[in-house]
Structure 1
């Protein structure tokens, strides 16, 4: 294998083919309606309606395999309280490094070697790459929709579990229809005297299959993103489905409705709120009440106004007949908005510091419950790894990054080096717990990251692949040839 060519492909920009057509949204709605029946139960009666997105928000998106892998590595941190966590993050970067490339039309596509895998490996590959691709597209859409906001991914199950919500349990228990979205996308803004936080639910899908299979996935996603409610309303959400092909990756994205303002306040409140552990809550999951079931059905059907007696009787009968098939819903009360903001903002900071390899600083943002439960069942572990901090400083273009580096020997004395880390100023703000300072610095540096990722107007460095996100996280893969003298 020519590793230099591989690395060059990782850093080569390519166009993403993204669609959000009204006709496809109607097909997804029809697919969801058809799934309601004796074999499927009534769970799809509780889904969210699917709407297309304005094309100005997703047209002309350019990415690279390196960006997809950086987003995947940041999002899929798996077990955090473990001496093997850093290797798990490293694995997320290298496992799929030969699966994506720019084709002759400069469209991001699956490589031949990425396509030539057996069925069960294809399932894992499509799920993982689907996450990375969805995060690239969803963040780009939201940061275009909300200029000046920074969006970070937080694993839904990790956040709900760390936030002391009981009943999270395993995902996708068919007998209980326990289905949740994959990630929260946490939008934060700090500056200009006021601060704010938004949250979106994101469901990521990926397939090597047909357009029909992609529609099925989107129909399922419309149910998953509706399983978390804040007050009496659902969160705004995005559902993203990627079809992987050597001819080019196609991505469909839709925008189920919801309310997006989570918290707004004075600038000085931001750090104070996030610095404090939000504390335990006793909220539990459960099936929808009749009132919630009826409200969701009316939303799906587009019915407005007050229901008459006939509609009430019909809905009550439908609810009683199908209640056991309805999904488990996680409800956060209206007065829990500030709690959710603090929980998600702390999780986002925790993930970025872990990405840099600084377990010690990251631990200040972890809840006690997360520390106790997110560990591997290994007895007699030494505590050294828990206090591990960053071990490497490197320069990506003109910026210093703090992080961790791995090296793998290659033939002829060369080595493959993978560095992941966080821009030094951004890292120092997070390490000190100054989230507002981190957001302001990331916002100031936002424009410079595009030149870094695109190779400064195409003048890319040979044998290097680089991706830097708006959040200040960076990934560099390079082939280093050692001198024989």
Structure 2
């Protein structure tokens, strides 16, 4: 059993992460999709509608990925802050990322892989561990790809189910007309710059503890998930699909493809005024369905899914910005600040009232990390019998804007500071790993003295 101090040191050490995006991968995924369609046909099921013509992501965008395990846990924690899956009722979902504190290992000259503990956990919780770690690696790569593609913009990751619930009923628990369609992307990436139209990419992330063949199947399935949301014209929404292969032996690999459609732009409709992102939003009740293009003067029946049509562009940009703000305030442990950003169907009740013992979160902690003052919440637990403290939060000046409902001001300042955040992964005064993201959030851990 490693001393906790050694574990913390390893969490801050960056490693190379293998990525795979080739024409051979495209062919293997197409073949896996065709095979799945045959199986569905034998069962008298309709073939899935998948993204047409997945493509290789250019090497200049996808290559040279280096991450520390702590970066992966920070990315995962931010992604699941609004997950609504655990007994934390949305107030402390992000602490679930800490269970992987000893799951990954690597080094400055090696590729990242599962540690001994990660391999042991894989024997019992394969789907959970591979799926959640897959989110961390996939979104880290997605942000690298999009940041290289749009260096003058900020990339925000937003949970798709939470965002979609502002306009559509997704399950039987939601009020409104339901689509009954279970395929949806897991995340949206909004690429934005103040004063300009933003662009949205649908993202699906999967993971496995098996082999490349399993990733081919997962990517074929992922292409059906990202196809379930269209922004603008039929089959023009850009998408990213990932499958992280975490074998029990050998380095992990992130398999990645994309669809480079011309759509996804959230521009203002003709004659409409730009929405102020500081204003509250209410649930809409859009009828589900995606309208294909007319053929020969005939209007086809809508396909299952969710369609953000031009008159909804400003609304959707508004929803994405406020949902992203909710994720940040939840990550900082402030349920009261989070409530203002969500509609009833998006889960306001998960941030008010009762929370199970040991699963709540309160924004009452302050720390100076890497020279920046942060406010947030803390969590104390034992790591190999040693008491450790984890801290998650947001830069204090930015958090005050979010606390006051000032999304516009938060975005202006985050964009201005996008290239100035520290890249160090260890704070000597704090004596533990630290990860600062371009959205102003931080995750840190240290031995409790």
TM over 0.5: yes
Please state whether the residue corresponding to 1:370 is helix, strand or coil: coil
Of 251, 255, 259 in structure 2, the residue corresponding to residue 252 of structure 1 is: 255
Cα pair 1:262 1:341 within 8 Å, conserved: yes
1:20: which partner in 2? 21
Aligned residues: 430
Cα pair 2:423 2:436 within 8 Å, conserved: no
2:70: which partner in 1? 66
Q: Per the alignment, do residues 52 and 461 of structure 1 end up closer, same or farther by CA in structure 2, a change over 3 Å counting?
A: farther
- Matched residues in 2 for 1:17 and 1:337: separation? 36
Q: Per the alignment, do residues 327 and 122 of structure 1 end up closer, same or farther by CA in structure 2, a change over 3 Å counting?
A: farther
Cα pair 1:4 1:463 within 8 Å, conserved: no
- Matched residues in 2 for 1:436 and 1:87: separation? 26
Please state whether the residue corresponding to 2:121 is helix, strand or coil: coil
Question: What 5-or-longer segments of structure 1 have no aligned partner?
Answer: 171-175, 296-305
1:374 Cα shift? 4.3
1:115 Cα shift? 0.9
- Matched residues in 2 for 1:251 and 1:181: separation? 18
Instruction: Say if 2:300 is the partner of 1:328.
Output: no
Of 391, 406, 410 in structure 1, the residue corresponding to residue 364 of structure 2 is: 391
- Matched residues in 2 for 1:13 and 1:46: separation? 36
- Matched residues in 1 for 2:239 and 2:307: separation? 16
1:213 Cα shift? 0.9
Instruction: Say if 2:127 is the partner of 1:123.
Output: yes
Instruction: Say if 2:99 is the partner of 1:95.
Output: yes
Please state whether the residue corresponding to 2:193 is helix, strand or coil: strand
- Matched residues in 2 for 1:243 and 1:285: separation? 34
Cα pair 1:138 1:238 within 8 Å, conserved: yes
Please state whether the residue corresponding to 1:331 is helix, strand or coil: strand
Please state whether the residue corresponding to 2:138 is helix, strand or coil: helix
- Matched residues in 2 for 1:356 and 1:441: separation? 18
1:468 Cα shift? 0.8
TM-score of the superposition, structure 1-length normalised? 0.80
Please state whether the residue corresponding to 1:275 is helix, strand or coil: coil
1:133: which partner in 2? 137
1:106 Cα shift? 2.6
Q: Per the alignment, do residues 210 and 188 of structure 1 end up closer, same or farther by CA in structure 2, a change over 3 Å counting?
A: same
Residue by residue over 1:92-135, the C-alpha shift from the partner in whole angstroms, topping out at 9 and shown as x without a partner, is: 23211110121474322111210123555011100100111111
Cα pair 2:281 2:319 within 8 Å, conserved: yes
1:42 Cα shift? 3.6
1:147: which partner in 2? 151
2:403: which partner in 1? 431
Cα pair 1:36 1:45 within 8 Å, conserved: no
Residue by residue over 1:402-428, the C-alpha shift from the partner in whole angstroms, topping out at 9 and shown as x without a partner, is: 11112235789x630101111112212
Q: Per the alignment, do residues 104 and 57 of structure 1 end up closer, same or farther by CA in structure 2, a change over 3 Å counting?
A: closer
1:474 Cα shift? 0.4
Cα pair 1:177 1:327 within 8 Å, conserved: no
Q: Per the alignment, do residues 330 and 45 of structure 1 end up closer, same or farther by CA in structure 2, a change over 3 Å counting?
A: closer
Q: Per the alignment, do residues 66 and 410 of structure 1 end up closer, same or farther by CA in structure 2, a change over 3 Å counting?
A: closer
Cα pair 1:8 1:462 within 8 Å, conserved: no
Please state whether the residue corresponding to 1:273 is helix, strand or coil: coil
User: Which is greater in Rg?
Assistant: 1
Cα pair 1:18 1:252 within 8 Å, conserved: yes
2:84: which partner in 1? 79
2:415: which partner in 1? 443
- Matched residues in 1 for 2:351 and 2:378: separation? 23
- Matched residues in 2 for 1:203 and 1:371: separation? 22
Cα pair 2:339 2:351 within 8 Å, conserved: no
Please state whether the residue corresponding to 1:36 is helix, strand or coil: helix
Q: Per the alignment, do residues 337 and 4 of structure 1 end up closer, same or farther by CA in structure 2, a change over 3 Å counting?
A: same
Question: What 5-or-longer segments of structure 2 have no aligned partner?
Answer: 174-179
Cα pair 2:266 2:313 within 8 Å, conserved: yes
Cα pair 2:280 2:340 within 8 Å, conserved: no
2:177: which partner in 1? none
Cα pair 1:150 1:439 within 8 Å, conserved: no
- Matched residues in 1 for 2:325 and 2:109: separation? 38
